[in-house]
Structure 1
């Protein structure tokens, strides 16, 4: 009986299709309106919606870098052009959906031999000539589809035998919403998210996205490798609610609205065009990070490629937007300019785009930057300053600030400072030096003039143009590459054979001669109860709690399991074992053993029951902060641990990632430094290490890491410790904006400063008592405030000295320990307090990571 019912449905469907073919609106259509079982679609074929407004099929990526490549896409045909050539040659702006892998998010790309079909097992799949599946519509397990139809709304539907919807393209939007389409949260799971394209005509995932968080907040993100986190948001609607039930809808009138859990409707964008059904409309997350609503009159002249007009956009001030990590819409070295249709990223004179195809990637100097070798500004006559009026860099990495100066003095300061990459002349009176250009903006309302340092044309340090270079380097390079290729092939053979042998070996291979124990993977599997208790995870692996038996007793351990598929983890593993395995200090987490068996790479550490310093300092609201006396002793212990790494080991070790997350608390409530995954070992006579892949954590990274040569020494850890020391004093995060009421001199309602600027204000004004948390346990116990405040001020001065821009000026960790202990006899060894500030944003002469400079 079921078979007869299905046959009846198929017959009805066929009759409906035949009837549809007789409708007047379809008379102009050449392509079919659906794809049924047994049929296939090949390039450049397409199907159309019943009205002829939309087409779905193979879209050519053009000649360029993708000759003969196609994607599956849906696009506007604008009705009158449905039967003409324009249906298969849409403008990129008319494309409203394209197929992407459900897991990786990569765009599915086929060739002229690819085919889309409803397979024999009821799947909708794109396959290449060899039958390899390139894309598959995600449907429920055991479900079987029979018809793919393109609706007049622009969405694709894959239907089962009973007409039930197995898959709908509107459930998986790309960068566009069509009228009636929405984004929502369902049971804490996001139903749809918009991802920008990398460029208008480039159908790969771009930098920006729009979605709804689990708390119901509508947020725009800059997508980084770390994924979407609150730190990556550059705009939010503040639609948080207890149940997180927020929906974003694009309606038929061109309004982009959000609906809260209580039914309240608010507009993100209100269309400025007339009401009615006379327009085609779409809302899109554009490649520049702005969400725009477009419209085009129906039946407009030009048919298939009719123009689109912007009717609304948000955020309206895109060039002003920053994440809390200070990332802007344009990359480092460039500045943002707002135009009517797009945000443009421009390079200062003397700079060039790092990627000419993607200008938002940033700019780099065309010349060899100034260095501080040989004493500093001796070669200042080789440089000049290029003016950029009405331009500012609002997220400078660090700066010196000079008040009551004129332009001539400002120019002189920067030209004679080898660390100055640019200077900002604010309102013609204040001069701010920057060590590197981050992301800036240019607008009529900006009262700042930027002075960018460039090398003069007559200087020998200028990078020569390509035509002036001889062929000799290329000949030498070719010979070297040929030799390298041969050596790589030979070495690869030995390496493959060696790895094969390793994988067969059932015992853990000794990595090097250390006093730590070599565990087998079986032992650590048992020790962690099958890796059951996850303590945390990072970019290179996960940490599990376990216990191992020693001759003395059973010991709790933390097992760090590196990701075997990560190529960097091999090098990191060797670094960590070699560096940590040979050191013993009361303020460093001790490594007990490791596993080097087959593809398994694991490190075994002492278990720290007190958690991380981050949890202690920045716990949930209402949690009591540790007393100042404990914080002071913890800071001293951390300093001693870093001092041991720099001066107490056989070879100095640069930790490279000092931050509260990497400082753990042991059973005796003492701090221990951990995570030597990116530690750099220096030889006995080596002063600097060249870092080829800058790592670490934003906010704690020393400025020299971000310079072109990336040469660092132990002073990089000194800078990071200075940041942590300020956090320990204040119990505030280094990049946490401070509300106006915490400013020393008030300020306007919308002004915020970072921890560094705030601390500089207080030290300069002699008000360091305000740096302590609002309620400090020590004072409740009646501890003498005067004695404590002397130590608070001393610690704050040391912290500000540690974050000096010039690493040569920073103290060593040995000096830091001496100053924190109070054993420095010469008071001049601690830098004097900066001049009292004259305004809200004035601070110490050296304030890193300033949030706003205008």
Structure 2
């Protein structure tokens, strides 16, 4: 019996899958591959805490992300993903279709190919020959040669997240980019970088380029800062979980200013969130503990106020309002009378739910077209085009009402009035604005601009196109257009709406023409369809009784 047992153990080891044996030390040999499927396997670290492989995108079931994630927690938080570093206009994740494959190649390193074999991404190993790769317990995936020298590692190509024992070198020019949203891994509007002068900065950028706006955070670790003549050379996330900027003279600027639990009991990560806030998180390793990430600290302290810049929209999109929440994360909302340009992007730009323009405003006095919504302690800095002083609150509102360029009027300090035009940028709730009021000009839906009788403008060219039929707006005759369509004639309101939308679309002034999204909203009844102005300023008007 004692002789049989060792032989039985050897036999069972032979039956084990080769990939399982390879995972004992986290190493993967050249030629091994993974395929993007619903039941895809992954390459694990020896501890099993990190995994490398394909993660399905939550919002697109047939697309996958080549990534690294925490594998022992329920939400499998992604900490790295393959992205296009060469294409400035995209620069974000490289989602791949079902059936794609990643293979470890001796000459190319990690090679990601589509279902048809077309190359989608590679790790760009340019020096040396890869002998094996491995998922390390730190969350770092490395490619090594026969002498165990690192030829490539994911820690040197971070995406939006840093992990303990990871170091960002100033000379390497590494940049962390945010995502576009929690579930959209495309390149977002914010970056973190250790600059050439040693300053750690957070910037918003003007997509699709990397052109940065003014920093909304900087560590003040340049050579010229007071207290030292030594610039920052590294951003260090040490193995104990503390984050700091290391200067050339080995002095440190500690960013983690809270006492941390032991790394033996907690996972840590630091992520540049899609909303521009850089946050360090902790998560208990105990399976029965609270299964969520806890924010330990964030920078900047108030992103709604910190991102004010002369260019760019600010933390939120244009015409939006940023409110700081208790977790130091921003909440973006459209003001009254406005709605999201993209309903799926809560942090994006807002558009007016009405058409405002000087051409339309000529048809009626402003007080008949508009009313004001009022907000307190709200402002859009840098959108001013007029400053009036001394001016009372009523004078401020009246001036904006009569000004076709004015979208918002701000009255503060008892006698100061600022008029602002679209698009509004850097919108935020600011509790330091004691007594400040924002008056937002919105459409008065109960009123319709008066008409000089029903009319349809046309010129000699359009007279030929319309032949014997005239399409009239308001009280005019539309029957000629649909003479034999009883169903349409019974729904004259819808017919008139369609005609008015069509006339908006052929406006001579391009700025008055609605976008295709706005046209769709008009037709679906989401946005009110106003009576359009004359589409051609030089055409005649036909009055029908």
Aligned ranges 1:210-221 → 2 under 5 Å: 210-221=192-203
The count of corresponding residues between Structure 1 and Structure 2 is: 438
CA offsets per residue over residues 716-737 of structure 1, 9 Å max, x none? xxxxxxxxxxxxxxxxxxxxxx
Selected match of 1:38 from 31, 37, 54: 31
TM-fit CA distance, 1:275: 4.7
1:393 is matched with which residue? Answer: 380
CA offsets per residue over residues 662-707 of structure 1, 9 Å max, x none? xxxxxxxxxxxxxxxxxxxxxxxxx988699xxxxxxxxxxxxxxx
The answer as to whether partners of 2:217 and 2:299 remain within 8 angstroms in 1 is no
- Which secondary structure does the structure 2 equivalent of 1:194 belong to? strand
1:345 and 1:461 mapped to 2: Cα distance?
A: 33
Matched, 1:70 2:64: yes
The 1:277/1:399 distance shift into structure 2, 3 A limit, reads farther
2:78 is matched with which residue? Answer: 95
The 1:147/1:460 distance shift into structure 2, 3 A limit, reads farther
1:235 is matched with which residue? Answer: 217
1:788 is matched with which residue? Answer: none
CA offsets per residue over residues 255-274 of structure 1, 9 Å max, x none? 32111122110123323543
Unaligned runs of 5+ in 2: 1-9, 225-229, 451-491, 514-531, 533-545
TM-fit CA distance, 1:211: 0.4
The answer as to whether partners of 1:350 and 1:454 remain within 8 angstroms in 2 is yes
Selected match of 1:148 from 127, 133, 144: 133
Matched, 1:317 2:317: no
CA offsets per residue over residues 335-373 of structure 1, 9 Å max, x none? 110113321111111000112222332111001114266
1:410 is matched with which residue? Answer: 396
- Which secondary structure does the structure 1 equivalent of 2:258 belong to? coil
TM-fit CA distance, 1:98: 0.6
TM, length-normalised to structure 1: 0.47
1:471 and 1:378 mapped to 2: Cα distance?
A: 24
- Which secondary structure does the structure 2 equivalent of 1:202 belong to? coil
1:339 is matched with which residue? Answer: 325
The 1:228/1:116 distance shift into structure 2, 3 A limit, reads closer
Selected match of 1:446 from 433, 436, 441: 433
Matched, 1:360 2:347: yes
1:45 and 1:32 mapped to 2: Cα distance?
A: 17
Selected match of 2:447 from 459, 464, 487: 459
Unaligned runs of 5+ in 1: 1-14, 481-686, 693-708, 710-854
1:376 and 1:469 mapped to 2: Cα distance?
A: 23
Aligned ranges 1:548-563 → 2 under 5 Å: none
1:468 and 1:195 mapped to 2: Cα distance?
A: 50
The 1:449/1:132 distance shift into structure 2, 3 A limit, reads same
TM-fit CA distance, 1:376: 9.0
The answer as to whether partners of 1:157 and 1:165 remain within 8 angstroms in 2 is yes
Aligned ranges 1:473-622 → 2 under 5 Å: none
- Which secondary structure does the structure 1 equivalent of 2:186 belong to? strand
Q: Following superposition, which runs of at least 4 residues in structure 1 exceed 6 angstroms of deviation?
A: 29-32, 687-692
TM-fit CA distance, 1:296: 0.9
Higher helix share: 1
TM, length-normalised to structure 2: 0.72
The answer as to whether partners of 1:368 and 1:461 remain within 8 angstroms in 2 is no
Could you say what the CA RMSD is over the residues aligned between the two structures, in angstroms? 3.5
- Which secondary structure does the structure 2 equivalent of 1:233 belong to? coil
2:138 and 2:94 mapped to 1: Cα distance?
A: 23
2:432 and 2:28 mapped to 1: Cα distance?
A: 56
TM-fit CA distance, 1:133: 1.1
Higher strand share: 2
2:391 and 2:369 mapped to 1: Cα distance?
A: 27
The 1:181/1:469 distance shift into structure 2, 3 A limit, reads farther
- Which secondary structure does the structure 2 equivalent of 1:257 belong to? strand
1:365 and 1:444 mapped to 2: Cα distance?
A: 25
2:45 is matched with which residue? Answer: 49
The answer as to whether partners of 1:54 and 1:75 remain within 8 angstroms in 2 is yes
CA offsets per residue over residues 8-64 of structure 1, 9 Å max, x none? xxxxxxx9xx89x9xxxx99x9999443223211122212111111111110013x3
Selected match of 2:122 from 117, 125, 136: 136
The answer as to whether partners of 2:357 and 2:404 remain within 8 angstroms in 1 is yes
The 1:309/1:438 distance shift into structure 2, 3 A limit, reads same
CA offsets per residue over residues 522-566 of structure 1, 9 Å max, x none? xxxxxxxxxxxxxxxxxxxxxxxxxxxxxxxxxxxxxxxxxxxxx
1:384 and 1:471 mapped to 2: Cα distance?
A: 26
1:253 and 1:271 mapped to 2: Cα distance?
A: 12
